Chains A and B, each alone.
Chain A
């Protein structure tokens, strides 16, 4: 056994060094701006138990069970190592001093758990070679940590094997006994003693080394991810905060100082598991964006610039720029479809997407630097309040043959048609179908007609917050004037913007997507269908702004089932795992020059199911699927919005 005095010195040195490293790193969070994540403590504790200790998201991937085992084993071994350290300081302190009925099970558990840990790290090491979680996962950092943990367990078994074989310790430890029997059988206490000391020190050095390596590796997440989960957002991160437009204001994110402390904590918490990049439509179609890399670059940038910035210096390494380690390129920033898939899978609740959109704000508002196609878009939205720049007087053309009532105080619902429904010849069909459905159900509804304005979704996701701000205020003002209390939308982008973003502008009315509304009408029996529509085999595509951003998954499916009498077949990626069509985040208005086409990837996935009809619940998805099917020469596969399917099933008048 070691000399307690010597160990005490080593221990103090190691702990001081660790605290110094950790404090130095975590104090960099103060570079960030303030953000309130301190509300609702009970709910935060509950979620921490579920997601940190219960590892609920980690185990969503089969291999996550390996991590779950490691995580809990580590917690148990924390006790074993506590005993180890105390015993090193004072040999009298040991679980051995407890009665056998108590200490026997304790040592048995330690022994078995140590074996589990050893097996888990071996499996993890092999997996990284055989089937890496993502390309490039084979890093030295990963192997240093796995090696250290394995060394710790090997030292543990040797140490106790020797103690048991030499009779220094009597306890129920089958694995350690086996090691002792195998290597040290019949060893005398005198011969065992120096070996015990050696293994003891190996164990101690590796343990303290591990502790001091943590803050400098991706395994910093051992320290930061539990707080990161505790401080997570409760709502979906589908909105960004408002900005104030005063002189000298900073817009969006230009350097790490413009991020909040929680954004920076996110960067420290990334486990580099790569799950986000494996679901990211931009990454999967060979665009330069990789959400894991974005988070990693923020961390490297903070480490590089943070210490000097805390003393008031300007950052040396630009956050938006060349794209070397620690900087993010503009191409990365513009590739994001804001689909939210990354945030949905991240086991430690990192919010990648809002950071990307905040960088767009800076590019657009402070630098006027954005893809050229957007110039037209912004002008059109600003001057004519629609993305195509069509005359606002054309807004009612879609219903020129119908008798649609202008919204007034007597209407219960405002049907907010949206720009696609009003102007795009294909999507006008959905607006017509909605009109038929609302009338058939006897709903009291009206439209704003020529007075309707664009919701501004694309402006916000593209970082033109100044424009969005004006549009949102104008809309809310108009609705207040008209007495609008309940709004039905047919576009998930309008829906999410009106429902979530407009809260920030004081709009508190009810906003209902056509998926929810039709589903409710059918369940309540208010809407009666005459016949089942035969559209052959149907597959349904979840749009990001309905599903992941607003948790609406079952309603559109139930609508399809009700109208056709058949449940839609699921594509490989469905519900919250659904794959974006490529149009969100303002990508609808940009040319897709980098990598391959996102819509084609999704269309091929749909075609794998060999459908006759693809059902969508979003006008953007409609365009993306129709275009993609034509590109794949599969025009015979129809694309239908759920409202169209229902309209076909209505009784004929």
Chain B
């Protein structure tokens, strides 16, 4: 954390964390001058050397959930590690990645890298599909800024529906495979083109 005071003085300085704001459209009208400073530093001046970049072996996704445009998340409602397969299949069809609630991480069903929420990652995907996640505030703060939230939960009172744009009340074990299947069919019909998810109403 850095607290920088430049109340009365210039220059001002600002930086933002990734994903806290939506990417604005490019404003051609905006004026201002960008000065690119060349600092004249060569690699030889940096004492730290990057020898090799090693990716976490446990992570099968190519993308980190922090940068993903589509996230399919599973929670305790999945009941078992095996069932994450359903989530992964849907994510694969969408070209997205798998996220999870903390409960699923705690249960050992999925790696902590996938945890969304207060003590996990803050995500801002185009579409976030929450399956079997109740929507505890600790989870909501990590995903509520998604452009479109789809929630699948059999409990109509679950707080996840308060932030969901599309809510599906029902059994995820029926609904998730059905969505996956319909995407597959749509893709087949469209000749394997990139799929655009059509809102599914429950």
C-alpha gap A168/B137 in the complex (Å): 84
Closest B-chain residue to A369, C-beta based?
B1
B106 close to A631 (CB less than 8 A): yes
For chain A, residues 486 to 517, give those with C-beta under 8 angstroms from any C-beta of chain B: none
Interface residue B76 (Cβ < 8 Å from any Cβ of A):
yes
Complex CA distance for A374 and B76, rounded to whole angstroms: 26
Q: Is the pair A368, B119 in contact by a Cβ cutoff of 8 Å? A: no
Question: Does A95 have its Cβ within 8 Å of any Cβ on chain B?
Answer: no
Q: Is the interface of B mostly helix, strand, loop or mixed?
A: loop
Cβ-based interface call for A129 (8 A):
no
Contact B137 A423 (CB under 8 A): yes
The reply to whether B1 and A373 contact each other, CB–CB distance below 8 Å, is: no
Residues from 2 to 36 in B contacting A, C-beta threshold 8 Å: 2-3
Do the beta carbons of B1 and A375 come within 8 Å of each other?
yes
B141 contacts partner chain A, Cβ-Cβ < 8 Å: yes
Q: How far is the CA of A424 from the CA of B138 in the complex (A)?
A: 9
Q: Which of B103, B135, B159, B162 contacts A630 (CB 8 A)?
A: B103
Q: For window 72-127 of chain B, which residues contact chain A by CB distance below 8 Å?
A: 76, 103, 106-107, 118-119, 122
Report Cα–Cα, A307/B141, bound state, in Å. Answer: 51
The CA-CA distance from A424 to B137 in the complex, in Å, is 6
Query: Given B3, B136, B137, B141, which contacts A466 in the complex, CB threshold below 8 Å?
Result: B3
List, in ascending order, chain B residues with CB within 8 A of A368's CB.
1-2
Q: Which residue of B lies closest to A600 (CB)?
A: B106
Q: Which of B138-171 contact A (CB under 8 A)?
A: 138, 140-141, 159, 162
CB contacts (< 8 Å) of B103 on chain A: these are 627, 630-631
Q: Which of A389, A464, A631 contacts B141 (CB 8 A)?
A: A389
* A425 CA to B137 CA, complexed, in Å: 7
**Chain B positions within 8 Å of A426 at CB level:** 136-137, 159
Instruction: Bin the interface of chain B by size.
Output: 10 to 19
Q: Flag if B118 contacts A388 (CB, 8 Å).
A: yes
A378 to B76, CA, bound (A): 29
Chain A, range 380-406, C-beta contacts under 8 Å to B: 388-390
**Chain A 415-441 near chain B by CB (<8 Å), digits 1 or 0:** 000000001111000000000000000
Which A residues, 575 to 594, have Cβ-Cβ distances below 8 Å to chain B? 589-591
Q: How far apart sit A458 and B68, CA to CA, in the bound complex (Å)?
A: 32
Give the docked Cα–Cα distance between A388 and B136 (Å).
12
Contact A390 B141 (CB under 8 A): yes
| Cross-chain contact B118 with A373 (CB below 8 angstroms) | yes
Query: Is A364 interfacial (CB-CB < 8 Å)?
Result: yes
Closest to A377 in B: B118
**Nearest residue, chain B, Cβ from A425:** B159
The complex places the Cα of A364 from the Cα of B2 at a distance, in Å, of 10
Q: Does A217 contact B (CB under 8 A)?
A: no
Contacts of B119 in A (CB 8 A): 373, 589-591
* B-contact bits for A210-248, CB 8 A (1 contact / 0 none): 000000000000000000000000000000000000000
Query: Could you say which of A378, A425, A627, A631 contacts B1, with CB atoms under 8 Å apart?
Result: A378
Interchain CA distance A423-B163 in the complex, whole Å: 13
Q: Which residues on the A side are within 8 Å of B162 (C-beta)?
A: 425
Most B CB within 10 A of own CB, among A374, A376, A426: A376
Taken together as a complex, chains A and B put the C-alpha atoms of A379 and B122 apart, in Å, by 14
* Complex CA distance for A631 and B141, rounded to whole angstroms: 21
Q: How far is the CA of A378 from the CA of B122 in the complex (A)?
A: 15
Instruction: Tell me, in angstroms, the Cα distance from A630 to B137 when the chains sit together.
Output: 16
Nearest residue (CB) in A for B141 is: A388
Contact A425 B3 (CB under 8 A): no
Minimum distance in angstroms from A432 CB to a CB of chain B: 14
* A370 interface hit (Cβ, 8 Å): yes
Chain A residues with Cβ below 8 Å from B107 are: 631
Write out the residue numbers on chain B whose beta carbons fall within 8 Å of the beta carbon of A364. Answer: 1
Cα A623 to Cα B138 with chains together (Å): 10
Interface core residue of B2, B76, B107, B136 (most chain A CB under 10 Å):
B136
CB of A622 to closest CB in B, whole Å: 11
Which chain A residues border B76 with CB–CB below 8 Å?
Answer: 630
**Complex: how many Å from CA A425 to CA B162?**
9
Q: Scoring A residues 463 to 494 as 1 if CB is less than 8 Å from chain B, else 0, what string do you get?
A: 01010000000000000000000000000000
A272–chain B nearest beta-carbon distance, Å: 35
Residues B1 and A388 in contact, CB atoms below 8 Å apart: no
Nearest-Cβ distance from residue A300 to partner chain B, whole angstroms: 31
Name the A residues within 8 Å of B136 (CB-CB): 424-426, 623, 627
For window 236-277 of A, CB contacts with B under 8 Å fall at none
Q: Which residue of B lies closest to A378 (CB)?
A: B1
Q: Which single residue of chain B is at the shortest CB-CB distance from A397?
A: B162
Select the residue from B3, B107, B162 with max chain A CB neighbours within 10 A: B3
Q: Is B122 a contact of A376 with CB atoms below 8 Å? A: yes
Tell me which residues from 506 to 558 in chain A have a Cβ below 8 Å from any Cβ of chain B.
none
A425 to B144, CA, bound (A): 14
In the bound complex, residues from chain B placing their C-beta under 8 Å from that of A630 are 76, 103
Contacts of B159 in A (CB 8 A): 425-426
- Across the interface, name the chain B residue whose C-beta is closest to A390: B141
What residue in chain B is nearest A635 (Cβ atoms)? B76
Q: Which residues of A (320-374) have their CB < 8 Å from a CB of B? A: 364, 368, 370, 373-374
Q: Cβ of A631: which chain B residues have Cβ within 8 Å of it? A: 103, 106-107
Tell me the minimal C-beta distance from A471 to chain B in angstroms: 14
- Closest chain-A Cβ to B105's Cβ sits at a distance in Å of 10
- Please state if A589 and B118 are interface contacts (CB–CB under 8 Å): yes
CB nearest to A382 among chain B residues: B3
Of A423, A425, A590, A591, the contact of B135 (CB 8 Å cutoff):
A425
How far apart are the CA atoms of A217 and B45 in the complex, in Å?
Answer: 52
Nearest to B119 among chain A residues (CB) is A591
- Tell which of B118, B135, B162 has the most Cβ of chain A within 10 Å: B118
User: What separation, in Å, do the CA atoms of A426 and B137 have in the docked complex?
Assistant: 9
- Nearest-CB distance from A597 to chain B (Å)? 8
Complex CA gap A589/B142 in Å reads 13
A146 to B103 alpha-carbon distance, docked (Å): 51
Are the C-beta atoms of B118 and A370 separated by less than 8 Å?
no
What distance in Å separates the Cβ of A400 from its nearest Cβ neighbour in chain B?
Answer: 12
- Distance (Å) between the CB of B116 and the closest chain A CB? 13
Q: Could you tell me the distance between the alpha carbons of A373 and B112 in the complex, rounded to whole angstroms?
A: 14
Q: Which residues of B sit under 8 angstroms from A623, Cβ to Cβ?
A: 136, 138
A352: min CB distance to chain B, Å: 26
CA A589 to CA B159, docked complex, whole Å: 20
A residues near B106, Cβ cutoff 8 Å: 631
Complex-state Cα separation, A464 to B3, whole angstroms: 11
Closest to B159 in A: A425
User: Within the complex, what minimum Cβ distance (angstroms) separates B126 from chain A?
Assistant: 21
A590-636 CB contacts (< 8 Å) to partner B: 590-591, 623, 627, 630-631
Interface CB pairs A-B, < 8 A, 18: A373-B118, A373-B119, A376-B122, A378-B1, A388-B118, A388-B140, A424-B136, A424-B137, A425-B135, A425-B137, A425-B159, A425-B162, A426-B137, A464-B1, A466-B3, A589-B119, A630-B103, A631-B103
Q: Interface of A with B (CB < 8 Å)?
A: 364, 368, 370, 373-376, 378-379, 388-390, 423-426, 464, 466, 589-591, 623, 627, 630-631
Given contacts A425-B137, A589-B119, 14 further A-B contacts (CB under 8 A): A364-B1, A368-B2, A373-B118, A379-B1, A388-B140, A423-B137, A424-B136, A426-B159, A466-B3, A591-B119, A623-B138, A630-B76, A631-B103, A631-B106
Q: What 10 A-B pairs are tightest by C-beta distance, nearest first?
A: A425-B159, A591-B119, A424-B137, A388-B141, A373-B119, A378-B1, A368-B1, A375-B1, A388-B137, A423-B137
